[in-house]
Amino acid sequence: MSSGNDRISAEERLIARYFSPLAKHHGAFGLSDDAAVLAPPMGHDLVLTTDGVVAGVHFFPGDPAADVARKVLRMNLSDLAAKGAQPVGFLMSLAVPAATKKSWMARFAKGLGEDADHYGCALLGGDTDRTGGPLSIVIAAFGAVPRGRIVRRSTAKPGDIIVVTGTIGDAALGVKLRRTKSLAKTWRLTRAMARHLEERYLLPQPRNALAAAVLRYASAAMDVSDGLAGDLAKLCRASAVAAEVDVASVPLSIAARAAIAAKPKLLERVLTGGDDYEIVLALSPARLPALHAASKKAGVPVTEIGRLRKGRGVRFLRNGNTLDFSRTSYSHF
């Protein structure tokens, strides 16, 4: 038949070559259709979230393609973890400058596929377009929670303990280091410390291994992506509670401690900077031992940093003084 009218477009070839192999969920139809189909497991709700990245805003244009892919997927996975949801799948929309090489796309798809497998979150569908601007990627990710059990921001109670996972502030320092290499010297960091901070910015470590414990024990939770101070303030506003945080208890990496020792004003950046992709959660003191046990099992450190009270506002206390930040959270606006 008229083969000239049966040519496969460049976009179809791109999808078939790099992304169809990632579409391992039966509802993705191997990306051969316009849409995917999905039903939550029996007795479960779907949890939906979306997060995107733009080159030059959320990552450096020269960052490894595989890490860019992993970063945007992990940003979404972090939201699912904080809501107590198990990953199911995701849609991805790519806007690609004309100069993007096939080899970049191959490495991007490889990184994406590895994380999709690791976290059990399959590609369900997508959209690929040209852009006259910077490369940008948007993911919408879907998880499952038992019906009615999504962990909200708004359900924390006075008396709850405030807990965070991992360490806070590394990525906010890491992105500064990426921009100004000489800061490593100013901050008196070893090469390993500088690399640790930069890698924490490059590649988030979402806490999905702790999601089941968040679901079971947290009275409220959210992921820390725009800075601990600002995100905790959001949780407190949503729950109509006040918080007191003991700054000395906030878990910091060795590298972040070293930088703050050299430049004490970095403490504010650590507590208000973005890109942590940790979880802040509130829970009844009675549940703390169970959370610690789950944390140990999951290999995700958790640290008590303060307490919720009646009232409103978030106080960061250090040596009996309240810190007052010039800004509480990272916002592009």
The reply to whether 145 sits near a second copy by the rule CB under 8 A is: yes
Residue count (the chain): 333
Residues 6+ positions from 235 with CB-CB distance below 8 Å: 153, 156, 220, 221, 222, 243, 280, 282
- CB 247, min distance to a second copy, A: 12
Residue closer to a second copy (CB basis): 225 or 253: 225
Give the one residue of 6, 62, 180, 192 binding a second copy; rule: CB under 8 A.
Answer: 6
Q: Which residue bears the tokens 């499952």?
A: 144
Residue closer to a second copy (CB basis): 196 or 307: 307
- CB 327, min distance to a second copy, A: 7
Question: Do residues 222 and 82 touch, judged by C-beta distance below 8 A?
Answer: yes
Q: Give the side-chain half-sphere CA count within 13 A for 221.
A: 33
* Range 258-297, binding a second copy (CB under 8 A): none
Residue closer to a second copy (CB basis): 25 or 107: 25
Residue closer to a second copy (CB basis): 54 or 209: 54
Q: Which residue bears the tokens 């829970």?
A: 283
The reply to whether 16 sits near a second copy by the rule CB under 8 A is: no
* Residue window 300-319: x/- pattern of binding to a second copy, with contact defined by CB under 8 A: -----------xxxxxx---
The secondary structure of residue 55, as a DSSP letter, is: B
The reply to whether 122 sits near a second copy by the rule CB under 8 A is: no
* Range 17-36, binding a second copy (CB under 8 A): 27, 29, 32-36
List Cα–Cα distances, 220 to 37, 55, 223, 238, 293, in angstroms: 30, 33, 11, 10, 19
* Range 164-193, binding a second copy (CB under 8 A): none
Question: Do residues 187 and 266 touch, judged by C-beta distance below 8 A?
Answer: yes
Sign of CA dihedral 227, 230, 235, 238: negative
Residue closer to a second copy (CB basis): 179 or 191: 179
- CB 15, min distance to a second copy, A: 10
Give the one residue of 20, 86, 136, 219 binding a second copy; rule: CB under 8 A.
Answer: 136
